[in-house]
Amino acid sequence: MLDLFDQAEASPGPASTGFTPPIHVIVALGKAIEEHAAEGGVSGRGKRYRDNAKVLIDGMRAMGFRTLLPDRLQAPIIVTFHMPTDPKFVFQRFYDGLKDRGYVIYSRKAHRRRFLPHGAASGASTPEHMKGALAAVREVLDELRVSNGGPALAAE
């Protein structure tokens, strides 16, 4: 673990760390700081996160999904959707189908809580990645023969 405060306190001088530092962590932190700055800092990264969330939410709603939170409370990092109520929707098959296409959603206890959390702003995701995820969701729903991501259709 890289504890910068502890490093500074234990260091005998400005050029010493007191023990062998985790170089890979320091290099990764430096790279992350560079990427954050290149993206425009907090405001630039925040804009990408908001753009990702908008693409994801709009696309999922177009397939009938409902967000857990109303728009006024929704943050752009994690977006959670109600699971479809269609009896043909099987969470594990949905999860596996997305994973097979290169998209992994949070699954821990999701199937028991009836919600689908999605990290809209994870890593270096872009709106184009979100469009790919939406296409994968549609494909998997089609394979499951689930026509609507929301409540089951009354005619079924």
CA 155 to chain centre: 34
What is the distance between the alpha carbons of residues 156 and 139, in angstroms, rounded to a whole number?
20
**What pLDDT sits at residue 19?**
66
CB 120 within 8 A of CB 104: no
Residue 37 lies in a domain: no
Per-residue pLDDT of the chain in tens (156 residues, 90 and over written 9): 667 777 777 766 666 666 677 889 889 999 999 999 999 999 999 999 999 999 999 999 999 999 989 999 999 988 888 889 899 999 899 999 999 999 988 776 655 567 777 776 667 889 999 999 999 999 999 999 998 888 644 444
Residue 122 lies in a domain: yes
Residue 66 lies in a domain: yes
The long-range contacts involving 111-117, CB below 8 angstroms and separated by at least 24 positions, are 111/83, 114/82, 114/83, 115/68, 115/80, 115/81, 115/82, 115/83, 116/65, 116/80, 116/81, 116/82, 116/83, 117/78, 117/79, 117/80
Segments forming the whole domain that contains residue 92: 50-144
**What pLDDT sits at residue 56?**
93
**What pLDDT sits at residue 17?**
61
**Burial grade of 60 (CB within 10 A; 0-12, 13-18, 19 or more):** buried
DSSP 73: G
The total number of structural domains in the chain stands at 1
The two structure tokens encoding residue 134:
């939406």
**What pLDDT sits at residue 16?**
65
Residue 65 lies in a domain: yes
CB 140 within 8 A of CB 101: yes
Residue 1 lies in a domain: no
**What pLDDT sits at residue 154?**
44
Residue 70 lies in a domain: yes
CATH number for the domain that contains residue 59:
3.90.1150.10
Centre a 10 Å sphere on the Cβ of residue 53 and count the other Cβ atoms it contains.
22
DSSP 67: B
Q: Is the pTM here over 0.85, yes or no?
A: no
Residue 130 lies in a domain: yes
**What pLDDT sits at residue 155?**
46
**What pLDDT sits at residue 141?**
96
**What pLDDT sits at residue 153?**
46
DSSP H or E stretch at residue 52: helix 41-62
Residue 60 lies in a domain: yes
